[in-house]
A and B are shown apart, each in its own frame.
Chain A
């Protein structure tokens, strides 16, 4: 008796399958659409934000610039007036408001260089860092203390008191040498360094577009 019933149901099996098929397809049409989250997960972003790994110090940057390290690009997130007024050598100006413009994506979303953000302090640079991090961009750094710290440490280093450790003096002399590299002229060398005010030529940074590997397919 049961078998007969099963057989009766099974004789409609193609119709049942077709019905399931159409119901599933119709389900796709009827399901409420939702905005998909782009970029990394919130937990990941939070752990990235808490971590201080993103900061680089002004001394490290000065060292890299002086040694002509080709592995990084500097991104100035201040407005263009401040940028034209003074900025780090070879920096690219991407004001924070225009950060997500398509024109600048090639600079930020690539695996070729470390991207170092800076502003007057590190607050705006941090904001830029969070936005780009959220989108899953790689190798992002922030200059700790920004331009202000750059001035107080590299351009105009404070001479340490006589009673501090020897390392402080070494650091001071390194910074002083760095400041000379960036064009600061000290009174004791004016005589020999009169024609050193040649602006360094702007290096052109070419960024290769990140290639997405397209999977090949075919029958």
Chain B
């Protein structure tokens, strides 16, 4: 049956409307769980607040378990889902830049826009930085192009590259998640409380 849009159960014309609706919900959840504060986001790196780790880890694990149950029961075809293509070195370099930016600025692109919406000044500066970065990248595109489009490995997943069983990966991933939650809680209790 699913996914709904590629199989024509919901027509493609609804794409933008659904995207806007999901975007509003996503923004609302980010803001209401305090992710528009750079201190809360940066807390995960300094060890005083692990909300980011918990929220995103829980979201990923719950959705992957749900998707695979739906797949098992035949409501959803996992093989039809979109897998982001892998450009190996582009992803590594981009990940490093993104990580440095995250630690230094205290936002990821999504949450920075959330914080812009509620008027945080640091987020304005951050988004301005993103814009400058986008501009520089566009201007120097010919220079970056070999890395940007090179080392292409297709729409691969861990199952494709290593031949792992997805069900075991999910199980191990869930255990890692629970252990990470427990450890992060222990760390949080030992680190001095930061008020913000």
Determine which of B82, B108, B167 lies in contact with A214 in the assembled complex, contact meaning CB atoms within 8 Å. B82
A219-B108 in contact given A22-B175, A22-B178, A214-B82 (Cβ < 8 Å): yes
The answer, yes or no, to whether A31 is at the interface (CB within 8 Å) is: yes
B61 with A21: CB separation less than 8 A: yes
The answer, yes or no, to whether B109 is at the interface (CB within 8 Å) is: yes
A28 with B175: CB separation less than 8 A: no
A interface footprint on B145-171 (CB within 8 Å = 1, 0 otherwise): 000000000010000000000011011
B178 with A28: CB separation less than 8 A: no
A29 with B84: CB separation less than 8 A: no
A28-B170 in contact given A21-B178, A22-B178, A218-B84 (Cβ < 8 Å): yes
Minimal Cβ-Cβ distance residue in A for B56: A219
The answer, yes or no, to whether B74 is at the interface (CB within 8 Å) is: yes
Partner-contacting stretch, out of B33-41, B64-72, B115-123, B133-141? B64-72
B interface footprint on A80-120 (CB within 8 Å = 1, 0 otherwise): 00000000000000000000000000000000000000000
Question: Which residues of chain B are within 8 angstroms of A22 by Cβ–Cβ distance?
Answer: 171, 174-175, 178
Determine the interface band of chain B, counting residues with CB < 8 A from chain A.
20 to 34
Determine the distance from Cα of A217 to Cα of B18 in the docked complex, in whole angstroms. 13
A29 with B110: CB separation less than 8 A: no
The answer, yes or no, to whether A18 is at the interface (CB within 8 Å) is: yes
B interface footprint on A199-217 (CB within 8 Å = 1, 0 otherwise): 0000000000000111111
The answer, yes or no, to whether A66 is at the interface (CB within 8 Å) is: no
Question: Which residues of chain A are within 8 angstroms of B178 by Cβ–Cβ distance?
Answer: 18, 21-22
Minimal Cβ-Cβ distance residue in A for B12: A213
B82 with A217: CB separation less than 8 A: yes
B171 with A28: CB separation less than 8 A: yes
B interface footprint on A119-151 (CB within 8 Å = 1, 0 otherwise): 000000000000000000000000000000000
The answer, yes or no, to whether A3 is at the interface (CB within 8 Å) is: no
Question: Which residues of chain A are within 8 angstroms of B171 by Cβ–Cβ distance?
Answer: 22, 25-26, 28-29
Determine the distance from Cα of A37 to Cα of B73 in the docked complex, in whole angstroms. 11
The answer, yes or no, to whether B187 is at the interface (CB within 8 Å) is: no
Question: Which residues of chain A are within 8 angstroms of B174 by Cβ–Cβ distance?
Answer: 21-22, 24-25
Question: Which residues of chain B are within 8 angstroms of A18 by Cβ–Cβ distance?
Answer: 178, 181
A215-B5 in contact given A21-B174, A26-B171, A28-B65 (Cβ < 8 Å): yes
10 A-B pairs within 8 Å (CB atoms) are namely A21-B62, A21-B174, A21-B178, A22-B175, A25-B61, A25-B65, A28-B167, A29-B168, A29-B170, A215-B3
Could you tell me which B residues sit within 8 Å of A by CB distance? 3, 5-6, 12, 61-62, 65, 68-69, 72, 74, 80-82, 84, 108-110, 155, 167-168, 170-171, 173-175, 177-178, 181
